[in-house]
Amino acid sequence: MGRFYPAALELVPLFILGCAIYLVVTGYAGLPGTIPTHFDFRGVADGWGDRSSLWSLAGLSAFLYLLFTGITWFLGNSPDPKRWINLPATVKENITGAQAQQLMAFLGRCLLALKTLILGLFLCNIYLTIAIARGETVTASYYHLLLAAAIGAVVIALLVRVFILVYRAPAQNAPPRY
């Protein structure tokens, strides 16, 4: 993590995870036995289940936080970042060490952004599930769509960066491609 971005940035997804767990812990007792578990595209609840399913959302949030953090740590501490680049062998052999480092650094930052956005999506879902179960609102907001669009934008940015670094930037000591 420290190789890819300042460690203090890790506090943002950790705070979001803490908020999600806090909402479940403090809101669980006041929930009815049946809560919304699925929403259609318009944000209307169209699936219902036991209130204990809310713990699954909090648990999945914690699992995803640990998974993304572990992958980022693993990639940041790998002595050979080129080994973990999944590209065709003919392309991969022309990647320089500097290109591989740049690619891994950008991937680490994208993983932080994805982790933050996905946890934000789970937090939003937990909040709206509790609010709808309590009768405070009848539909979900459009924040889900905004967060999903932001996740898509991060993935597209990663793909564009890979293309630019690997296919457009000439590798050192590599013959020109025609």
pLDDT in tens, 81-91: 778 788 888 88
Kindly state whether residue 139 falls inside one of the protein's structural domains. yes
The count of residues in the chain is: 178
Kindly state whether residue 61 falls inside one of the protein's structural domains. yes
pTM of the model: 0.85
Q: What is the extent of the structural domain holding 70?
A: 7-36+47-168
pLDDT in tens, 148-160: 899 999 999 999 9
* Residue 145: CB atoms within 10 Å: 12
Kindly state whether residue 177 falls inside one of the protein's structural domains. no
Kindly state whether residue 76 falls inside one of the protein's structural domains. yes
Calpha distance 37→45 (Å, rounded): 7
Calpha distance 56→62 (Å, rounded): 10
Domains: count for the chain:
1
Kindly state whether residue 104 falls inside one of the protein's structural domains. yes
What are 54's two structure tokens?
A: 């809310």
Kindly state whether residue 74 falls inside one of the protein's structural domains. yes
More confidently predicted of 143 and 72:
72
More confidently predicted of 176 and 7:
7
Asked if residue 141 lies in contact with residue 43, where contact means CB atoms within 8 angstroms, the answer is yes
Kindly state whether residue 176 falls inside one of the protein's structural domains. no
More confidently predicted of 176 and 76:
76
